[in-house]
C-alpha cells in the first residue's frame, strides 16, 4: 500500500457547541479509510471534524509503524500536543489526545509511559470501541485497547453513508481484507495488523452498493495483501479477489474499480482474467517486488524469483497492454551487494514502471531482518536510493509524456485552483486539471491531454 504520509482533513459543518475532532493520518490508504471510519464512529457521539488542532477538543493520531522515521514522527507530534494540552487546561478546556493505528498496536502501554499526556491508545481492531473509550477517559481512566477484538469491528461501525453533514464523495476506499501472513523479513505488518482476515462477500457487496447509492463512482478495494482476499459465494464455493471484482462490476452506477496492495504470489489466473475482461477495472496495478536480486528476495522471504515476477508482468501485459505498473522497492537490505543492487536496476529497466515508491531499508526491531548480519551504512543506502529514484523518475516522466496528445476518460473528483477548473483522475491514476465549465464533479468526461506539470497533467475537453 502507498506509504506516503498524508494528512487527512475532515470537512464538515461545525456548530458552536459541538465537540471537534482533528484526525491526523500517517501512512497508507488503509489508515485513510480507518480515519474516516473513526470520524464516523465519533459523529454518533456529537463530534464534528475540524482541520487543525487549534480548535479541536480531541486529537487523534492515526499512526504508521512501517519505518522507524514514521514512528518517531508520532512521538515528536505528541510532544507538541502535550504543550497544547497544558495551555488548554489553563483555560479550563478539555483537550483529549488519542493514538491509533500501527504504532499504537506495536507500542501499547509504552506510549502512555513515554508520553503521559496521551489519554487513549487504540489498535486498528478496536476503533468501534472509541466512543466507550472516551467515556472511560472522562471518568478518569487512561485507556489502552490493543486487543484483537473478537467481534467484527465492521459490523459495529456506523454506516459510512449515513453520517449527517458528511460530504458526498465520488471516490471511496473499501477495506476488503486486513492483516498479512506473508512474513517478509523486513516488515512489521504481520505483527501490527495480525494475520489475514477477509471480510465476507455479502458484507462487501452491501457496503459497496450503499456507497454507490450515496454517489460514489470509483471504489478502491484495500488490503495489506488485497489479492489474498478469499471468501465464499452464495452457493458456498470458494472465491478470490478476481471473482469479487466480477461481482462488484455488476453494481449499476459504479464506473471504476481499483485495488491495492498486492503480492506477486497471489496474482492468480482469475485476477488476471479480470484485468482482461472488466473495462471497469482500471489499467493500473501496484505490485511491489522490493528487490531484483534472487538472493535478496530469498533473504526477504518473498518466495518468488525476479524472473517469475517479470514473467507475471508479461502475462498481465499480454491481456491488458495499456496497464500502468507501480511498485515498491527497498534498497540496502542487510547483505545487499553492489551486484544485488544492479539486479534491482536491471529489473526496473525490464519492467518499466509508470510510478513507484522506494525506500532505504529501515531496521524494525522484532522482525527477522533486524537480526541478520551485514547491515549497510546509511551512506551506501542513500547512494543506491538516489540512483534508483533517478531511474524511476525518468520512467515516470516518460509515462506521463506518452499520454500527451491522447484522449482519455477522466472522472472529475474536485474543484481545481482556478474558476471553471476541475481536477480528475485518468484511468492510470494521474491527477489531471481541466477547464470544464459545463461539467460537474462525479462526471466522466473525455479529455485530451495537452501539457505536463511536475506531478499532474493538463487537459482540454475533447470535442464530441
| Interface contacts to ligand 5AD, rule CB under 6 A | 1, 3, 66-67, 186-187, 288, 290, 328, 330, 359, 361-362, 364
CB of 272 to ligand SF4, least distance (A): 19
Residues 6+ apart with CB under 8 A from 132: none
Q: Tell me if 190 contacts ligand SF4 by CB under 6 A.
A: yes
CB under 6 A: which stretch of 120-128, 187-195, 275-283, 392-400 binds ligand SF4? Answer: 187-195
Nearer to ligand SF4, 75 or 183 (CB): 183
Q: Applying CB under 6 A, which of residues 28, 38, 184, 204 lies at the interface with ligand SF4?
A: 184
Nearer to ligand 5AD, 33 or 359 (CB): 359
Q: Which of residues 206-225 bind ligand SF4 (CB under 6 A)?
A: 224-225
Other Cβ atoms closer than 10 A to 296 = 23
315 near 351, Cβ under 8 Å?
Answer: no
CB of 361 to ligand 5AD, least distance (A): 5
Q: Which does 180 bind (CB under 5 to 8 A by kind): ligand 5AD, ligand SF4, none?
A: ligand SF4
Burial class (CB in 10 A: 0-12, 13-18, 19+), 380: middle
25 near 35, Cβ under 8 Å?
Answer: yes
CB under 6 A: which stretch of 20-28, 185-193, 213-221, 267-275 binds ligand SF4? Answer: 185-193
CB of 367 to ligand SF4, least distance (A): 9
Separation CA 287–CA 328 (nearest Å): 7
Q: Tell me if 183 contacts ligand SF4 by CB under 6 A.
A: yes
Q: Applying CB under 6 A, which of residues 32, 120, 180, 459 lies at the interface with ligand SF4?
A: 180
* Residue length of the chain: 464
Q: Which does 362 bind (CB under 5 to 8 A by kind): ligand 5AD, ligand SF4, none?
A: ligand 5AD
Burial class (CB in 10 A: 0-12, 13-18, 19+), 117: middle
Q: Tell me if 187 contacts ligand SF4 by CB under 6 A.
A: yes
Instruction: Tell me which residue has cell 482519455.
Output: 408
**282 labelled ligand-binding:** no
Helix (H) or strand (E) holding 379: helix 378-402
CB of 265 to ligand SF4, least distance (A): 9
Backbone phi, psi, residue 389, to 5°: -65, -35
CB of 329 to ligand 5AD, least distance (A): 6
Closest residue by Cα to residue 97 from 148, 137, 60, 43:
60
**102 labelled ligand-binding:** yes
Separation CA 99–CA 119 (nearest Å): 8
The number of angstroms, rounded, from the C-alpha of 263 to the middle of its chain's C-alpha atoms is 15
CB of 386 to ligand 5AD, least distance (A): 16
Instruction: Tell me which residue has cell 536510493.
Output: 385
**180 labelled ligand-binding:** yes
Other Cβ atoms closer than 10 A to 234 = 7
Q: Tell me if 412 contacts ligand SF4 by CB under 6 A.
A: no
Other Cβ atoms closer than 10 A to 284 = 22
Nearer to ligand SF4, 20 or 364 (CB): 364
Q: Tell me if 189 contacts ligand SF4 by CB under 6 A.
A: yes
Q: Which does 428 bind (CB under 5 to 8 A by kind): ligand 5AD, ligand SF4, none?
A: none
3-state secondary structure at position 133: helix
Closest residue by Cα to residue 426 from 453, 406, 398:
406
Closest residue by Cα to residue 227 from 171, 194, 191, 181:
181
Q: Which does 148 bind (CB under 5 to 8 A by kind): ligand 5AD, ligand SF4, none?
A: none
**80 labelled ligand-binding:** no
Binding site for ligand SF4 (CB under 6 A): 180, 182-184, 187, 189-190, 224-225, 263
Task: List the binding residues for [4Fe-4S] cluster.
Answer: 28, 64, 102, 180, 184, 187
Amino acid at each position: 500500500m502507498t506509504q506516503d504520509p498524508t494528512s487527512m482533513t475532515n470537512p464538515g459543518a461545525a456548530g458552536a457547541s459541538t465537540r471537534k475532532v482533528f484526525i491526523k493520518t500517517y501512512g497508507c490508504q488503509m489508515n485513510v479509510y480507518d480515519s474516516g471510519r473513526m470520524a464516523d464512529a465519533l459523529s454518533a457521539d456529537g463530534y464534528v471534524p475540524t482541520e487543525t488542532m487549534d480548535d479541536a477538543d480531541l486529537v487523534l493520531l492515526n499512526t504508521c509503524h512501517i519505518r522507524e522515521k514514521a514512528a518517531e514522527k508520532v512521538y515528536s507530534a505528541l510532544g507538541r500536543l502535550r504543550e497544547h494540552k497544558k495551555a488548554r487546561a489553563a483555560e479550563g478546556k478539555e483537550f483529549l489526545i488519542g493514538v491509533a493505528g500501527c504504532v499504537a498496536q506495536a507500542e501499547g502501554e509504552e506510549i502512555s509511559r513515554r508520553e503521559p499526556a496521551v489519554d487513549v491508545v487504540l489498535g486498528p481492531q478496536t476503533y468501534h470501541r472509541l466512543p466507550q473509550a472516551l467515556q472511560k477517559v472522562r471518568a478518569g481512566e487512561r485507556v489502552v485497547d490493543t486487543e484483537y477484538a473478537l467481534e467484527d469491528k465492521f459490523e459495529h461501525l456506523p454506516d459510512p453513508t449515513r453520517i449527517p453533514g458528511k460530504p458526498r464523495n465520488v471516490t471511496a476506499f473499501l477495506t476488503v481484507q486486513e492483516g498479512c501472513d506473508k512474513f517478509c523479513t523486513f516488515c512489521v505488518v504481520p505483527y501490527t495488523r495480525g494475520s489475514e482476515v477477509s471480510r465476507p462477500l455479502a458484507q462487501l457487496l452491501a457496503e459497496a452498493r450503499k456507497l454507490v447509492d450515496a454517489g460514489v463512482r470509483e471504489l478502491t478495494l484495500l488490503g495489506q495483501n488485497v489479492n489474498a482476499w478469499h471468501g465464499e459465494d452464495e452457493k458456498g464455493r470458494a472465491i478470490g479477489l478476481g471473482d469479487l471484482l466480477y461481482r462488484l462490476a455488476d453494481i449499476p452506477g459504479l464506473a471504476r474499480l481499483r485495488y491495492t496492495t498486492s503480492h506477486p504470489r497471489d496474482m492468480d489466473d482469475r485476477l488476471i482474467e479480470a484485468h482482461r475482461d472488466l473495462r471497469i477495472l482500471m489499467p493500473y496495478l501496484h505490485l511491489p517486488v522490493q528487490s531484483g536480486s534472487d538472493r535478496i528476495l530469498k533473504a526477504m522471504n518473498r518466495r518468488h524469483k525476479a524472473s517469475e515476477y517479470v514473467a507475471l508482468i508479461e502475462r498481465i501485459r499480454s491481456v491488458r497492454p495499456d496497464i500502468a505498473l507501480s511498485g515498491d522497492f527497498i534498497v540496502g537490505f542487510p547483505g545487499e551487494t553492489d551486484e544485488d543492487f544492479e539486479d534491482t536496476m536491471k529489473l526496473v529497466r525490464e519492467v518499466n514502471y509508470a510510478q513507484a515508491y522506494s525506500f532505504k531499508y529501515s531496521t524494525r526491531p522484532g522482525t527477522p531482518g533486524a537480526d541478520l548480519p551485514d547491515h549497510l551504512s546509511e551512506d551506501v543506502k542513500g547512494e543506491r536510493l538516489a540512483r534508483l529514484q533517478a531511474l524511476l523518475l525518468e520512467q515516470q516522466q516518460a509515462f506521463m509524456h506518452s499520454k500527451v496528445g491522447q484522449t482519455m476518460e477522466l472522472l472529475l473528483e474536485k474543484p481545481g485552483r482556478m474558476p471553471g477548473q476541475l481536477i480528475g483522475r485518468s484511468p492510470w491514476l494521474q491527477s489531471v486539471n481541466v477547464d470544464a465549465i459545463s461539467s460537474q464533479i462525479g462526471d466522466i468526461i473525455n479529455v485530451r491531454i495537452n501539457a505536463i506539470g511536475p506531478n499532474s497533467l493538463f487537459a482540454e475537453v475533447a470535442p464530441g
